[in-house]
Amino acid sequence: MPIKIPDNLPAAKILESENVFIMTEKRAIHQDIRPLRIIILNLMPTKIETETQLLRLLGNNPLQVDIELLQMATHVSKNTSQEHLLLFYKTFDKIRHRRYDGMIITGAPVESLNFKDVDYWQELCEIMKWSKSHVYSTLHICWGAQAGLYYHYGVPKFPLPQKLSGIFKHRPLDFNHPLLRGFDEIFYMPHSRYTEVRQSDIESVPHLQTLALSETAGVAIAASVDARQVFVTGHCEYDRYTLANEYQRDLSRGINPPVPQNYFPNNNPQNVPPMIWRGHANLLISNWLNYFVYQQTPYDFVDLNNGNS
């Protein structure tokens, strides 16, 4: 089944070339079914790239999904044109009266800041509070996961000695959990961050469960017991060259970053990195959509639990 996206969104041509089933708004109005409504709060600076990556994963499932894009009103994006943002993105004041089956909150390059020092922190808190009564399940990614864990449960983040960047092995901790259904005993996921959350802090919260772990990268996936809140500390949506582009960007800025681990063959940045995480990335997003959005959301819900679930 297709994902429904705004007419003329730049990601459309890329996804069509990959045979991802998309549907424009004009065509979708003729479909007499109840699609899932997903809103993506895109905090990444490279918004078009992130849109494409997430839509690629959302489109690889048998459900029809209507997509809306959300930006922060209290932050000025420096890397995406205002024309693109005005054409395809909404601000919170335009959607706060609506309800959604699912929400995705992306990562953001603000990990070195304390949460309260991020210029849009208060607006993000307002959105996360709203999501508890207007969104059935929210998927948080990387810094979005750290922000969500801190806001909802008080779980802190800690600085790492150096940037964690690369492709890391992970193991599921609960093979019976629907989010991990079909996972192998070892799976891979990209990480790109300067901070971490700790398993001991997550597991001190009775309502939270650690679902997947890496010996090197730490907690990879955690969730509330009902999976209304899902936290992924890596970037399963990343493309083949995303880490390479970040590495070259940091080099050009004089940051002297470490070469992403387990990424370039022979640790040589001139070599083409193999894609070894896409299968589990698709499976994770499909499981979230199926088990905790499609099967759990009421057909016509009016209000939701205001607690931390």
Residues with catalytic roles: 142, 235, 237
Which residue in 172, 176, 138, 152 sits closest to 296, CA to CA?
138
Tell me the C-alpha distance between 225 and 205, whole Å. 11
Which residue in 254, 248, 142, 247 sits closest to 193, CA to CA?
142
Tell me the C-alpha distance between 194 and 162, whole Å. 6
* Close Cβ partners of 267 (under 8 Å, ≥ 6 residues apart): 259
Q: Which residue has the tokens 């309502």?
A: 207
Bin 166: left if φ > 0, else alpha if -120 < ψ < 50, else beta: left
Residues facing 230 on adjacent strands: 139, 223
Tell me the C-alpha distance between 254 and 261, whole Å. 19
Tell me the C-alpha distance between 56 and 35, whole Å. 17
Tell me the C-alpha distance between 274 and 277, whole Å. 9
Reading the block at residue 233, the tokens are 């500390």
Distances (CA, A) of 199 to 28, 74, 108, 173, 191: 43, 32, 22, 12, 16
Q: Phi/psi of residue 102, each to 5°?
A: -145, 160
Reading the block at residue 303, the tokens are 């209000």
